[in-house]
Chains A and B, each alone.
Chain A
Amino acid sequence: MTALILFYIAGFVTLAAAILAITRTNASHALIYVVVALLAIAVIFFLLGSPFAAALQIVVYAGAIVVLFLFVVMMLNLGKSSVDRERALLTRGIWTVPSLLALMLFAVVLFALVSGDHETEAQARMIEPKEVGIALYTKYVLAVELAGVLLLAALVGAYHLGRRYLADRREEEETS
């Protein structure tokens, strides 16, 4: 019963923080709300009996990915002008059509969920990190290697895109 109450609280916090994050005009404020939402999702993962996934969610998502975002936002040094432009762009009317489309998507999938059969009962047990590790390195070893190749490709791509000379060459072309 306590788990259920905690789940609803965490779910509410997730949705509220997500809505606040996508409606902010200042990027660094939005990222703080993203951290809150990700931590609430980690609580939900823990309640679902996946402690390892909850830990990874905090370490990798809230700890690494959001910090990467924050570094970029701070490096670009977006001033008050960008906040003002965002505020001018985000009128009330701009939200209606996308919200309607998303609401239709929500209604369709909700209907599919409600009309389905729910005969199997959820098995309430913790899935230990040991089991996850065994599955990861026996059944899914090929997927792990593919993920490694993907991360290598991302590393090379990020290094190439982050190099300064790409921008310099363009400036040279403009001046010549």
Chain B
Amino acid sequence: MPPTEHVLVLALMLFCIGAIGVLVRRNIIFILISLEFMMNACAMVFIAAGAKWGQPDGQVMFMLILAIAASEVAVALGIVIQMARRFRTLDVDAVSELRE
């Protein structure tokens, strides 16, 4: 079994890649993809912790994260469709009407 520390470092790298994606990209589809990576990194930490202690709790938490990710994606893609209909773009900078 791979050492827990190495799994944690891998999850941390994945989380950082997701964070860079959220900060850099302006296309909402890519921001959502980056969020998925960040959520997957968190799930990996839970699995690694569960494996370290030999308990099923980590996988239970993984399933809850899966439910959260699925509901987040469903609502977010609904917003994406509305955005494409109203503004004819997926650029998040275009959707700043609240400021004006």
Using CB atoms and an 8 Å cutoff, list the residues of chain A in contact with chain B: 3-4, 7, 11, 14-15, 18-19, 21-22, 24, 27, 30-31, 34, 37-38, 41, 44-45, 47-50, 52-53, 56-57, 60-61, 64-65, 68-69, 72-73, 75-76, 78, 82, 85-86, 89-90, 94-95, 97-99, 101-103, 105-106, 109-110, 113, 118, 120, 122-125, 127, 131-132, 134-136, 139-140, 143, 147, 150-151, 153-155, 157-162, 166-167, 170
Contacts and interface: CB of A to CB of B under 8 A. Distances in A.
Given A15-B14, A109-B12, A127-B56, 13 more contacts: A7-B6, A22-B24, A22-B30, A60-B66, A61-B40, A61-B69, A102-B16, A102-B19, A123-B53, A125-B54, A127-B54, A140-B64, A147-B68
Given A3-B1, A22-B21, A44 B80 contact: no
B79 interface: yes
Q: Chain B interface mostly helix, strand, loop or mixed?
A: helix
Given A69-B77, A76-B90, A161-B81, A44 B7 contact: yes
A106 B12 contact: yes
Q: Chain A interface mostly helix, strand, loop or mixed?
A: helix
A64 B51 CA distance: 26
A158 B90 contact: no
A69 B29 contact: yes
A109 B55 CA distance: 24
A49 B51 contact: yes
29 contacts: A7-B6, A15-B10, A18-B14, A22-B30, A27-B29, A30-B30, A47-B1, A48-B7, A69-B29, A69-B73, A72-B29, A78-B90, A86-B27, A90-B24, A94-B24, A98-B20, A110-B12, A122-B1, A122-B51, A132-B63, A134-B56, A136-B60, A140-B57, A158-B74, A160-B78, A161-B82, A162-B81, A166-B82, A167-B85
Interface of B: 1-10, 12-14, 16-21, 23-27, 29-30, 32-34, 36-37, 40, 43-44, 47-48, 50-60, 62-64, 66-75, 77-82, 84-86, 90-91
A88 B55 CA distance: 49
Contacts of B17: 15, 18-19, 22, 102
Given A122-B3, A135-B60, A41 B33 contact: no
